[in-house]
Structure 1
Amino acid sequence: MMRVAVTGASGFVGGAIASALADEGFDVTGYGRRGDGWRHERGRYVRSDLVACTGPLADVDVVVNAAATTDEQASVGDAFAINADVPRRLPSLFPGARIVHLSSSSVYDAEGTRRGLREDAPRPRRHLGSYPASKAAGDRAALAAGAVVLRPHAVYGPGDTTLLPRFAALVRDGLLPLPGGARSWHTLTRVESIAEATLLVLAARPASGVYNIADDGSTRLDRVLCEALRYRSGRHTRVVSVPLGVAWAVARAGERARRTGLVERVPLTPYALTQVVSDCTLDTSRARAAFGFVPRHTDVSDAATW
């Protein structure tokens, strides 16, 4: 029986991966920082702060690293500690284990043309914040350790604590104000697809490298958000377009205020703004060829249960 460690198991993506592996009969140990972390009748959970760990944690065959902070307003130190340093130290934390690392489409250029992005797309000269910069550094560290790196985009589905709740919190009287009306095109990634891709990687043992993981085709952000919010609340939501000039002024002013220490958090960051107004569609042909990944259709019809 293959022994697998899943870091970040108390989180949205890590928990889904750990449960899928346990369901398939793998010997799974989940690691997370929360005391009330992942639970599964055929798995174990260990509360552990990987940032503070210095020695080997376990003797396993594979480690799936889903430990991360997705807060784009995290300090540079906090973001790099978990998103970059943990991937770098995986070989010492789990000696001899094969590594599967969960990355993010945020490593791609947030300001360039982002349609049909392949894994070898040019890297940006600068990243818009600590989150994409630290994820890019983690990418490099994982690849240097011989990992298989999976890059999803805009992960959604059961257990989502970030994407849909963030937009739902903006709704007032059935109106959702979004920069430019959020008329951008995206290939979202259902969380179960990441779990399926991980299972395929463990079976096929593809070469170390980067593989995009996303749904089939693309969807317009404003439309899929309204659809998901309708399923979630039972009420129709209408997107109200916020002028881009106003949105950029707010984002840049907030960024200056954060850099100078006037405030700790702002309502809108340049990174978050680009995610709403810029297209981001991924080419998944490399994952299809390397380990038989089959993208699923985007489906938010069960949003009421997330």
Structure 2
Amino acid sequence: MFGIVFGVLVGLVMPVQTNANSRLRLSVGSPFLASLVSFTVGFLTLLASALLIDGRLPDPTLTAGLPAWLWSGGLLGVVVLTGNIFLFPRLGSVQTVVLPIAGQVIMGLLIDHVGWFNAPQATLDAPRVLGALLLVLGVVGAIGLGDALLHRDRAVGTGSSAGLSLWAWRIAGVVFGMFSATQTAVNGQLGVVLGTATGAALASFTIGVATLLFIVLFTRAKWRLRVPEGHERNPWWMWIGGFLGAAFVFGNALLSPIIGTGLTVMTILLGMMAGSLLIDHFGLLGARKKPTTVLQAVGLACMVAGVAVIRLV
């Protein structure tokens, strides 16, 4: 039960991180620069945590002779982060949320069923399938898909984003979600090998910072810090995205070897959707106030039921 509660709490930080990073992007002008700042703050947070909590830095020699995929978590994180930047203008808000989540759930269950990345095995039986369906249906309700369809929330791209190209982006959305679940499993196993979830998260962020630094230098993104039009000042909370991202990656690395990749993904998704609805309902962190609808409340209840079915049946 502790793992479920902790997973939900880890998920709750993600909508706050998203809002913080989105606001930071407005001030620095580039999504890659915003991501680099966020990853750097997370790296420094985890570096301090490793020294204070573990009393040492992780020993990379412990992975000698082991598969190279142990170090792929940071790269996968950058791919997922960058992927969402490209999905939104082509698919619209609803599909950008639902398709990666579908990919996360599918891949999480597959990793558990087959035991990929040395994850704890859990047979893909009827309760797990039912729980996954309930969770996905809950997500659909929680993001207000019905309202979105009534208002025809379609992809805003045209031309090359139409027809077969549009379906290619939809498939990419599912794949990005699968990468996210894979990152959870990989970082979890790296934590087992290194003997510390903090060390695994630090390694992931180190690779992420290096990758983003290369992207920023390659794209020649220019640093600028300004107060966006329509805003009086830059809020202090726009800098905390990296700290929250560090907590998120640490939570994934800690939980995955304990409760399995599939259940880790689902409990965190539950926390993410609950946090998103709270932010919208109360208009927190500069978000436009949007009271929670009955459909969204029912969707959240469906997600709770999905996690309960997998955990308790």
Fold equivalence (TM over 0.5): no
Higher helix share: 2
Higher RCO (CA < 8 A, seq sep 6+): 2
TM-score by length of 1: 0.29
Higher strand share: 1
